[in-house]
Structure 1
Amino acid sequence: MIIDKLIQNTEFNLKQSVIMLAGVLGMLLALPVLANGGADAGIEWGVMGMKLFGGLALFLFGMEQMADALKAVAGARMKGILAKLTTNRFMGAVTGAFVTAVIQSSSVTTVLVVGFITAGLMSLSQSIGVIMGANVGTTITAQIVAFKVTKAALLMIGVGFTMLFASKQEKIKHYGAMLMGLGLVFFGMSIMSDGMKPLRTYQPFLDLMISMENPLVGILVAAGFTGLIQSSSATTGIVIVMASQGFITLPAGIALAFGANIGTCVTAMLASIGKPREAVRAAIVHVIFNVAGVVLWIMFIPQLAEVVTLISPSHPELSGIERLGAETPRQIANAHTIFNIANTLIFIWFTAQLARLVERLVPDRLLEEEGLAVSAKYLDDELLSTPSLALDRVRLEVLHMGERVMEMLDRIMPAILNGDHKSLDDVAMLDDEVDILYEQIIDYLGKISKQSMTDQQTEEFLSLMEAVGDLENIGDTIETNMVALGHERIDHGFSISEPTKEVLSGFHKVVKKAVDGAVQSVSQLNTGVAQSVIAMKHEINKMAESAAVHQASRLVAEEPNRIAAYTTEVDIIEKQKRIYYFAKRMAKSVIPPEEIKED
Structure 2
Amino acid sequence: MTLTFTLIDLAGSVALLLWGTHMVQTGIQRAFGASLRSLLGRALHGRLGAFLAGMGITAALQSSTATGLMTAGFTAGGLVELVPALAVMLGANVGTTLIVQLMSFNVVTASPALILAGVLMFRKASTTRAHDLGRVLIGLGLMLLALHQLLGLFTDYEDAPSLRMLLGAASTVPLVDVLLAAGLTWAAHSSVAIVLFIMSLSAQNVVPPDAAFALVLGANLGTAINPLLEGATASDPASKRLPVGNLLSRAVGVVLALAAIGPLGRFMVTIEPDNARVVADFHTLFNLVLACLFLPVLSPYARLLGRLLPQRAAPTDPSRPLYLDPAALQIPMVALGNAAREALRLADVLGDMLAGARAALVDGDRKLIVETRQRDDILDHLNTAIKTYLTSLDHEQLAENDLRRVHEILTFVINIEQAGDVVDLNLLPHATKRVKRGLAFSKEGEAELLAMLDRLMANLRTAASLFMTEDTRAARMLADEKVTFREAESTATASHFERLRSRRIDTAQTSALHLDLLRDLKLINSHIVAAAAYPVLERTGALLPSRIAANEM
TM bucket (normalised to shorter chain) is 0.5 to 0.7
Partner residue of 1:287? 247
Structure 2: segments with no counterpart, 5+ residues: 126-132, 322-338, 357-366, 377-420, 432-449, 488-518, 529-547, 549-553
Partner residue of 1:222? 181
Partner residue of 1:335? 282
Corresponding letter in the other structure for 1:346:
L
Q: Is the 8 A contact 1:114 1:282 kept in 2?
A: yes
Counterpart CA distance in 1 for 2:430 and 2:56 is: 39
Counterpart CA distance in 1 for 2:105 and 2:135 is: 26
Corresponding letter in the other structure for 1:504:
A
Counterpart CA distance in 2 for 1:444 and 1:255 is: 49
1:502 aligns with 2:472: yes
Q: Is the 8 A contact 2:72 2:243 kept in 1?
A: no
1:267 aligns with 2:226: yes
Counterpart CA distance in 2 for 1:232 and 1:215 is: 18
Partner residue of 1:90? 48
Counterpart CA distance in 2 for 1:368 and 1:343 is: 36
Partner residue of 2:206? 247
Partner residue of 1:351? 298
Cα displacement (A) at 1:95:
1.4
What does the per-residue CA deviation read over 1:261-305, in whole Å, with 9 as the maximum and x for residues that have no partner? 222333122222326554221122112212112112111223443
Partner residue of 1:364? 311
Counterpart CA distance in 1 for 2:99 and 2:306 is: 32
Partner residue of 1:127? 85
How does the TM-score come out when normalised to structure 1? 0.51
Counterpart CA distance in 2 for 1:282 and 1:70 is: 20
Q: Is the 8 A contact 2:174 2:211 kept in 1?
A: yes
Partner residue of 1:571? none
Residues 1:245 and 1:125: Cα distance change in structure 2 (over 3 Å): same
**What are the within-5 Å matches in structure 2 for residues 64-463 of structure 1?**
82-110=40-68, 113=71, 117=75, 122-145=80-103, 147=104, 182=144, 185-186=147-148, 189-190=151-152, 192-199=154-161, 205-206=164-165, 208-272=167-231, 273-274=233-234, 276-310=236-270, 312=272, 314=274, 327-328=275-276, 330-365=277-312, 367-369=313-315, 372-374=316-318, 410-411=343-344, 439-440=370-371, 442=373
Partner residue of 2:504? none
Partner residue of 2:393? none
What does the per-residue CA deviation read over 1:157-187, in whole Å, with 9 as the maximum and x for residues that have no partner? 8888888899998889987986686466446
Q: Is the 8 A contact 2:25 2:136 kept in 1?
A: no
Corresponding letter in the other structure for 1:95:
A
Q: Is the 8 A contact 1:81 1:95 kept in 2?
A: no
Counterpart CA distance in 2 for 1:194 and 1:127 is: 38
Residues 1:362 and 1:468: Cα distance change in structure 2 (over 3 Å): farther
Corresponding letter in the other structure for 1:266:
I
Residues 1:238 and 1:482: Cα distance change in structure 2 (over 3 Å): same
Residues 1:542 and 1:58: Cα distance change in structure 2 (over 3 Å): closer
Q: Is the 8 A contact 1:223 1:259 kept in 2?
A: yes
Counterpart CA distance in 2 for 1:54 and 1:115 is: 29
Counterpart CA distance in 1 for 2:262 and 2:476 is: 76
Structure 1: segments with no counterpart, 5+ residues: 1-46, 315-326, 378-405, 413-425, 446-460, 490-495, 511-537, 546-576, 587-598
Q: Is the 8 A contact 2:75 2:242 kept in 1?
A: no
Q: Is the 8 A contact 1:219 1:257 kept in 2?
A: yes
What does the per-residue CA deviation read over 1:221-280, in whole Å, with 9 as the maximum and x for residues that have no partner? 222333344443343344344335432222212212222222233312222232655422
Residues 1:469 and 1:582: Cα distance change in structure 2 (over 3 Å): farther
Q: Is the 8 A contact 1:164 1:176 kept in 2?
A: yes
Counterpart CA distance in 2 for 1:266 and 1:478 is: 53
Counterpart CA distance in 2 for 1:191 and 1:245 is: 17
Q: Is the 8 A contact 1:251 1:302 kept in 2?
A: yes
Q: Is the 8 A contact 2:182 2:223 kept in 1?
A: yes
Partner residue of 2:416? none
Counterpart CA distance in 1 for 2:520 and 2:50 is: 46
Partner residue of 2:326? none
Cα displacement (A) at 1:89:
1.4
Cα displacement (A) at 1:306:
3.7
Residues 1:125 and 1:228: Cα distance change in structure 2 (over 3 Å): same
Corresponding letter in the other structure for 2:309:
V
Counterpart CA distance in 1 for 2:197 and 2:18 is: 15
Q: Secondary structure at the match of 2:471?
A: helix
What does the per-residue CA deviation read over 1:383-412, in whole Å, with 9 as the maximum and x for residues that have no partner? xxxxxxxxxxxxxxxxxxxxxxx9899539
Q: Is the 8 A contact 2:427 2:520 kept in 1?
A: no
Counterpart CA distance in 2 for 1:159 and 1:427 is: 48
Counterpart CA distance in 1 for 2:349 and 2:22 is: 42
**What are the within-5 Å matches in structure 2 for residues 526-541 of structure 1?**
540-541=482-483
Q: Percent identity?
A: 20
How does the TM-score come out when normalised to structure 2? 0.54
